[in-house]
């Protein structure tokens, strides 16, 4: 199976996961969305040289994965999709910022390497949390939650259709590349000069398919708002969910817990 | 698709009589024309009248205008010239919602129709769009799925189903809206022989008005009492299924091949 097919399968797996009944999927989508947003904001608010202080925040995706029974394999595959972007953002740091920043086991690390590790950790944590939230909520419920949180309906519908279009585009790309490979003979890689032609074909075919999908939706009474198959009901458990996690994020942001624990263990002063 | 249970998924009784005087045909197409921007006329002056409860096959070679005609019955396309009346209601921008409530459209490629995360959510999509409560929509969903023998697929993801299962779920998605008219575009395409046989049984069991565009003339003969032959966007012939599908010369002239011997529709 090609990389594209695997990536699509993992994205589709999220939709399937969202339909299951787990403690996390029973939480109101708005609660999950709010907590995940808070989590990402907290992560991004740390100084770029902080690494150890981020570790207590890893508790959030770990607990979500356990509550949502999301397979580690799915999270790992989707993390791999995001990895190139994180690498692209952070890879230049060791060359740009060469001032010594940290002494680790006798080895002096430059600020660039520390910030690079920090970026990788933040991306890993935020992507894991987002994937878990999506996997235990589903795109339709997430868009409904956004709409209830006063995000304009047209944006929510666009987001939902974009999510569907992603699969349409992916399916078409898969068909095109398979058709190419079957007749490529000794040239398994697509030559550069064919990229533009295939890209155009891909967009045209995906557009036609998306039009048929839209027609099928219209034929079943779609008027621009996607109905929700499960009601949104904010319960006490959701308030507790938001409250507990927000407190944990504030605590992790306010106090360097690993450092505090280290000092406690070694008896070092403040 | 298991044994169908048509009585559960019969059209909504209220649909049958509402705003429809006695004697008004279920579908009345008059001098219908349609031209696509990039090509010649897809339909040129098609006339068609279908009574309530009738099963009519629309046959013709590729490009004859079958799908274009079908898309006018549900308002996916609006007439460039001529008119379409559904149970007495003239198709137009203002009557689209009402027409779509009455006419259920099953697409040629079931993958185009199924897009929600689970089969249950997908079948409930139409009823929820009709403004039904969650309880009512789920009730209809379960009934429609049972009706096409797909109740056991309710929690499955549509993209993991076989071709026959997808077709059954796509039909259930339309039946859940309780339309009085069913329009099916190439319903047997991509099905294996057993799936096709089950589909024929299911289609025969329905009491809805059925319009089926198909290349599968055996299916047309077994399900439909009447056949309309389209050629170059015009009605080349229409009449009793056995008579039309028994006319080898006509079929060859219209780019079709005679069906094998099958038990004709009632």
Chain centroid offset of residue A192 CA? 31
Q: Tell me whether residues A221 and B126 touch, CB distance under 8 A.
A: yes
Question: Could you say which of A16, A138, A227 has the minimum Cβ distance to residue B125?
Answer: A227
Is A219 an 8 Å CB contact of chain B? yes
For residue A95, being part of any structural domain is answered with: yes
- Number of helices (H), then strands (E), in chain B: 11, 10
State whether residue A212 sits within 8 Å of chain B by CB. Answer: yes
Sequence-ordered list of residues with C-beta below 8 angstroms from that of A196, at least 6 positions apart, any chain: none
Distance CA B188, CA B196 (A): 6
The Cα–Cα gap between B103 and A250 comes to 56
Q: Compute the average pLDDT of residues A76-100.
A: 79
CA distance A214 to chain B (A): 9
More confident: B138 or A195 = B138
Identify whether A247 is part of a domain: yes
- Minimal Cα distance from A165: which residue of B? B115
pLDDT at B41: 84
Please report, to the nearest 10 degrees, the dihedral formed by the alpha carbons of residues B128, B161, A80, A164 taken in order.
-30
Q: Look at residues A179, A205, A195 and name the one whose alpha carbon lies nearest to residue A2.
A: A179
Calpha distance A1→B141 (Å, rounded): 35
Are A213 and B124 a contacting pair at CB < 8 A? no
Whole-number pLDDT of residue A251: 94
Tell me the CA distances in angstroms from B182 to B115, B186, B213, one per residue in order.
21, 13, 11
Res B118: pLDDT:
83
Q: Which of residues 196-235 of B touch A (CB under 8 A)?
A: none
A163 found inside a domain: no
Region of poorest pLDDT, from A149-153, A183-187, B110-114: A183-187
| Chain A CB within 8 Å of residue B117 CB | yes
What would you measure as the largest C-alpha separation in chain B, in angstroms? 54
State mean pLDDT over A12-24: 80
Provide mean pLDDT across the span A152-181. Answer: 81
What are the residues facing B104 on neighbouring strands? Answer: B182
CA–CA separation, B43 vs B34, rounded Å? Answer: 5
**What is the phi/psi pair of residue A50, to 5°?**
-85, 125
Checking if the pLDDT of A61 tops 70, the result is yes
A213 touches chain B (CB under 8 A): yes
The whole-number average pLDDT for the span A197-219 is: 86
**Closest by Cα among A163, A137, A134 to A232:** A137
Distance between A150 CA and the closest CA of chain B, angstroms: 21
For B85, the enclosing helix (H) or strand (E) is: strand B81-86
Distance CA A10, CA A78 (A): 7
Give me the DSSP letters along A31-85. Answer: HHHHHHHHHHHHHHHS-TT--GGGGGGGHHHHHHHHHHT--HHHHHHHHHHHHHH
Residue B78 forms contact with A (CB below 8 Å): no
With respect to residue A79, please indicate whether it lies within any of the assigned structural domains: yes
Is some CB atom of chain A closer than 8 A to the CB atom of B120? yes
Average pLDDT over residues A184-208: 78
Mode of pairing for the β-strands spanning B209-213 and B181-185? parallel
Question: What pLDDT is stored for residue A213 in this prediction?
Answer: 86
pLDDT for the residue B142: 94
**Is ipTM beyond 0.90?**
no
* Among the ranges given (A132-146, A222-236, B127-141), the one the predictor scored with the smallest mean pLDDT: A222-236
**A180: enclosing H helix or E strand:** helix A153-182
Each residue's pLDDT tens digit in chain B (266 positions)? 544 444 446 666 544 444 455 678 999 999 999 998 777 789 999 999 999 999 999 999 998 999 999 999 999 999 989 999 999 999 999 999 899 999 999 998 888 888 887 899 899 999 998 889 989 999 999 999 998 889 999 988 887 788 889 999 999 999 999 999 999 999 998 888 888 898 999 999 999 999 999 999 999 999 999 999 999 999 999 999 999 999 989 999 998 887 776 555 65
Which of the two residues, A131 and B87, has the higher pLDDT score? Answer: B87
What is the Cα–Cα distance from A72 to A70, expressed in whole angstroms? 6
Asked whether residue A108 carries a pLDDT value surpassing 90, the answer given is no
- Is-contact B161 B112, C-beta < 8 A? no
CB pairs under 8 A between A and B: 81
Domain spans, chain B: 6-253
Residue B177 to residue A220, Cβ atoms within 8 A: yes
Q: Is A91 left (phi over 0), alpha (psi -120 to 50) or beta?
A: alpha
pLDDT for A115 equals 87
pTM of the model: 0.75
**pLDDT given for residue B261 in this prediction:** 60
Cβ of B157 within 8 Å of Cβ of A222? The answer is no
Min Cα separation B27/chain A (Å): 17
Across the beta sheet with B27-35, the strand order is B41-50, B27-35, B81-86, B89-90
CA closest to A166 among chain B residues = B115
Q: Is A255 on the interface with B (CB under 8 A)?
A: no
Higher pLDDT, B9 or A24: A24
- Residues in B touching A233 (Cβ below 8 Å): none
SS3 (DSSP) at A117: helix
Gap from B106 CA to chain A (nearest CA, Å): 8
Q: Do B130 and A221 touch (CB under 8 A)?
A: yes
How many domains are contained in chain A?
Answer: 1
Sheet order of strands, B55-59 included? B103-106, B181-185, B209-213, B55-59, B226-231, B234-240
Range of the domain at A240: 3-151+233-256
Does the distance separating the beta carbons of B107 and A16 come in below 8 Å?
no
Q: Please report the pLDDT score of residue B89 as a whole number.
A: 95
Using the beta-carbon criterion (under 8 Å), do B159 and A12 form an inter-chain contact? yes
Task: Name residues 167-186 of chain B within 8 A of A (Cβ).
Answer: 173-174, 177
DSSP for B166-208, please give it. Answer: HHHHHHHHHHTT--SEEEEESTTTT--HHHHHHHHHHHHH--S
Which of A139, A216, A229 is the closest to B128 by Cβ?
A: A229
Query: What is the C-alpha end-to-end distance of chain A, expressed in Å?
Result: 55
Chain A residue with minimal CA distance to B174?
A220
CA A147 from chain centre, in angstroms, equals: 20
Contact A140 B121 (CB under 8 A): yes
Any alpha helices (H) in B47-148, and if so which ranges?
66-73, 96-102, 110-113, 119-129, 134-147
How far apart are alpha carbons A104 and B232 in whole angstroms? 79
Q: What is the pLDDT of residue A188?
A: 65
Residues A52, A121: Cα–Cα separation, whole Å: 10
pLDDT band at residue A86, thresholds of 50, 70 and 90?
Answer: confident
pLDDT at A169 over 90: no
Cβ–Cβ below 8 Å for B116 and A213: no
**B contacts of A229 (beta carbons < 8 Å):** 116, 120-121, 124-125, 128, 134, 137-138
Instruction: Give the gap in angstroms from C-alpha B112 to the nearest C-alpha of chain A.
Output: 5
A62 falls within a domain: yes
Mutating which of A219, A228, A233 best tests the B interface, going by the most B Cβ atoms within 10 A?
A: A219
Rounded to the nearest 10°, the torsion over CA A40, A43, A47, A50 is -160
Write down the CATH number for the domain with range B6-253. 3.40.50.300
């Amino acid at each position: 199976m090609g990389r594209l097919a695997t990536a699509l399968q993992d994205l589709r797996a999220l939709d399937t996961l969202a339909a299951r009944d787990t403690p996390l999927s029973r939480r109101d989508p708005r609660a999950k969305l709010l907590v995940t947003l808070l989590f990402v904001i907290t992560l991004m608010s740390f100084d770029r040289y902080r690494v150890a202080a981020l570790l207590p925040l890893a508790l959030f995706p770990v607990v979500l994965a356990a509550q949502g029974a999301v397979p580690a394999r799915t999270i790992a595959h989707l993390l791999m999709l995001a990895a190139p972007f994180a690498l692209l953002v952070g890879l230049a740091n060791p060359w740009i910022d060469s001032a010594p920043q940290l002494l680790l086991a006798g080895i002096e690390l430059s600020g660039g390497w520390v910030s690079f590790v920090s970026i990788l950790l933040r991306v890993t944590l935020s992507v894991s949390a987002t994937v878990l939230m999506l996997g235990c909520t589903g795109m339709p419920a997430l868009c409904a939650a956004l709409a209830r949180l006063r995000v304009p309906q047209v944006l929510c519908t666009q987001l939902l259709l974009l999510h569907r279009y992603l699969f349409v585009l992916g399916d078409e790309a898969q068909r095109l590349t398979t058709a190419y490979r079957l007749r490529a003979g000794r040239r398994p890689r697509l030559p550069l000069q064919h990229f533009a032609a295939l890209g155009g074909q891909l967009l045209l075919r995906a557009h036609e398919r998306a039009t048929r999908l839209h027609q099928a939706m219209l034929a079943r009474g779609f008027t621009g708002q996607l109905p929700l198959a499960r009601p949104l009901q904010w319960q006490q458990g959701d308030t507790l969910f938001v409250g507990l996690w927000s407190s944990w994020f504030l605590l992790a942001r306010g106090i360097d817990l690993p450092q505090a624990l280290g000092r406690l263990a070694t008896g070092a002063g403040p | 698709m298991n044994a169908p249970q048509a009585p559960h998924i019969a059209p909504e009784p209220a649909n049958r009589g509402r705003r429809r005087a006695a004697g008004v045909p279920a579908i009345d197409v008059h001098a219908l024309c349609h031209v696509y921007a990039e090509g010649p006329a897809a339909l040129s002056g098609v006339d068609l009248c279908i009574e309530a409860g009738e099963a009519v096959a629309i046959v013709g070679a590729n490009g004859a205008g079958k799908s274009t005609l079908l898309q006018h019955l549900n308002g996916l396309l609006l007439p460039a010239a001529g008119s379409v009346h559904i149970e007495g209601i003239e198709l137009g921008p203002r009557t689209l919602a009402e027409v779509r409530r009455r006419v259920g459209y099953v697409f040629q490629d079931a993958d185009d129709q199924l897009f929600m995360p689970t089969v249950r959510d997908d079948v409930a999509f139409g009823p929820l769009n009709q403004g039904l409560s969650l309880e009512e929509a789920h009730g209809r969903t379960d009934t429609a799925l049972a009706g096409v023998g797909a109740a056991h697929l309710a929690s499955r993801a549509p993209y993991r189903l076989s071709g026959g299962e997808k077709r059954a779920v796509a039909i259930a998605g339309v039946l859940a809206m309780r339309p009085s008219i069913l329009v099916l575009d190439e319903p047997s395409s991509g099905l294996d022989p057993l799936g096709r046989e089950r589909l024929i049984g299911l289609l025969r069991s329905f009491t809805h008005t059925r319009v089926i565009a198909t290349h599968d003339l055996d299916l047309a003969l077994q399900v439909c009492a009447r056949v309309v032959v389209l050629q170059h966007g015009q009605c080349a012939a229409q009449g009793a299924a056995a008579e039309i599908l028994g006319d080898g010369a006509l079929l060859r002239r219209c780019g079709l091949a005679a069906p094998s011997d099958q038990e004709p529709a009632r």
